[in-house]
Amino acid sequence: MSAKEEICPDCGASAMDNDARIITVGKDQATGDRVTVETWHHETCPAYTVQQILMEDGARRAKERDEQTKAVFPEIRARVKNAAAKSTDSPFAAALLELVEQQGADLGRFVTADQWVEVLERHFPPAGDGCPE
């Protein structure tokens, strides 16, 4: 990852003369590489004010989504469990239930790709291992 520094076009703040420093991560349009961009602002800069509002709004929305997820997930988990109990011969139901259970064990993290592979390998083994296709 490379790093760039930018003088704010709105307030003209620099590394030597600023009230705030913002570091963002993005993609370099020319190379496609990830790049950090360091920009300075004065406290009265309109671009800085807009960035602050967007950041606070984003944080508020993320918190709301998190609370909503924690409120509805237990009921959805129970419905999946009930549905899977009626489909005991289905590898689809068993795999989905296992993935839901893994996610439900901790809603603060993602079920990782390697955990998905482990579950799906178990319920859908390669052909020749007696897996119905």
Only segment of 46-54, 75-83, 112-120, 124-132 that touches Zn ion (CB under 5 A):
46-54
Alpha-carbon dihedral 92, 94, 96, 102, rounded to 10 degrees:
-160
In whole angstroms, what separates CA 55 from the centre of its chain?
A: 16
Please state, in angstroms and rounded to a whole number, the distance separating the CA atoms of residues 78 and 115.
21
Only segment of 44-52, 54-62, 75-83, 90-98 that touches Zn ion (CB under 5 A):
44-52
Cβ proximity to Zn ion, 10 vs 101, nearer residue: 10
Cβ atoms 100, 116 nearer than 8 A: no
Site for Zn ion in 2-21 (CB under 5 A): 8, 10-11
Cβ atoms 31, 43 nearer than 8 A: no
Please report how close the Cβ of residue 10 comes to Zn ion at its closest, in angstroms. 4
Cβ proximity to Zn ion, 8 vs 119, nearer residue: 8
Cβ proximity to Zn ion, 41 vs 95, nearer residue: 41
Alpha-carbon dihedral 57, 58, 64, 67, rounded to 10 degrees:
-140
Applying CB under 5 A, which of residues 20, 37, 47, 96 lies at the interface with Zn ion?
Answer: 47
Q: Residue 101 interacts with Zn ion (CB under 5 A)?
A: no
- List contacts with Zn ion (CB under 5 A): 8, 10-11, 41, 45, 47-48
